[in-house]
Copies of this chain bind each other. A is one copy, B any other.
Amino acid sequence: MIRVGIVGGTGYTGVELLRLLAVHPEVELVAITSRSEAGTPVAELFPNLRGHVDLAFTEPELGTLQDCDLVFFATPNGIAMGMVPELLARGVRVIDLAADFRLRDPALWEQWYGMAHACPDVLAEAVYGLPEVNRGAIREARLVANPGCYPTAVQLGFLPLVEAGLVDTGRLIADTKSGASGAGRKAVVGNLLAEAGESFKAYGVAGHRHQPEIRQGLERVVEGPVGLTFVPHLVPMSRGIHATLYAELRSDEADLQALFERRFAGEPFVDVLPAGAMPETRSVRGANVCRIAVHRPLGARTVVVLSVIDNLVKGASGQAVQNMNIMFGFEEQAGLGAIALIP
């Protein structure tokens, strides 16, 4: 049993962490903080937790958090970087579900997030928490930067092709679609049911923060620049990400199905579908799994990869728990055995 705290528990990644950790066999939840809701029982805000989580929200105070073995940050971007150095100094390990430690280059971070980084020196130490790439480093990490939701779905889909050097990495295309919970639990007109329901649209076409994160991940593999067009869309549903990925094959010879199956053999949370299958987001609803299919429509040179995750599970809180399991030597699937909800 480890002692765990959550900073910023009123958003969707916060409640999802609680849902997962409340039934985790190795975790004792000791604190969940929220400035705005301090004093409110968690289960009052999130009635699904009634009978499962007895905690009330508290002010985010170092005094409480420093007694934890692990602290999750489920805060808006820019909060974690102000508290993480002190926690690390007190021997508390950290998983940040926000973007503060995802980009290694502080200048790039500033450019995309519009603020100076509060602890650029800590950036170098942060481990990017995509277990399928970094499992070893995660095991030893004091600080894990949990990947973004789109970057998880997109990188897992591109990785086999890029690692094998099979595709032109100068012109990758990621056409991605997300349910509305990806925008967070903020009162914004555009995300009202009466605005976003029964409609579909692209957003952030001019530039989205997940683009440099994905590029960084793929460039690490290629050891050179990668060209990536990234277009996100809003789907009228609550949960789920579907990434449709396009890449140009350099040669005709690869057995793509075998390549993908080999790459993810043994991965507990990546499921390569049989040839010809097409994943649906509901097949991962509530579950910590990425389902992937690879296609070559009409036998042409353009590979199409379909990759689905639940943006709040494998795209956020589930992956964070997976990282925790790795960091503390628990069974990697501990607390993550739930099956997706169909229908």
Contacts and interface: CB of A to CB of B under 8 A. Distances in A.
Contacts of A173: 173, 246, 302
Contacts of A181: 194, 343
A35 interface: no
27 contacts: A12-B194, A19-B341, A23-B337, A50-B271, A171-B248, A173-B246, A177-B177, A179-B194, A180-B197, A183-B194, A187-B189, A188-B192, A193-B238, A194-B238, A198-B237, A198-B239, A198-B282, A199-B281, A200-B235, A202-B244, A202-B306, A206-B295, A206-B298, A233-B244, A235-B235, A286-B286, A341-B341
A287 interface: yes
Interface in A133-169: none
Interface string A293-323: 0010110111010101000100000000000
A273 interface: yes
Nearest to A208: B297
Nearest to A211: B298
A192 B191 contact: yes
A341 B280 contact: no
Contacts of A50: 271, 283, 291
Contacts of A256: none
Contacts of A306: 202, 205
Given A47-B277, A48-B282, 11 more contacts: A23-B337, A50-B283, A171-B248, A173-B173, A180-B193, A191-B194, A199-B240, A205-B297, A207-B298, A229-B246, A246-B246
A279 interface: yes
Nearest to A173: B246
A285 interface: yes
Nearest to A276: B206
A191 B229 CA distance: 31
A119 interface: no
A-B complex: 4 closest residue pairs judged by Cβ atoms? A201-B280, A199-B282, A48-B340, A180-B193
Interface string A241-280: 0101010100000000000000000000001010011111
B238 A205 contact: no
Nearest to A188: B187
B47 A283 contact: yes
Contacts of A291: 47, 50
A192 B181 CA distance: 9
A15 interface: yes
A185 interface: yes
Given A188-B187, A200-B242, A48 B193 contact: no
A52 interface: yes
Interface string A9-30: 0001001000100110000000
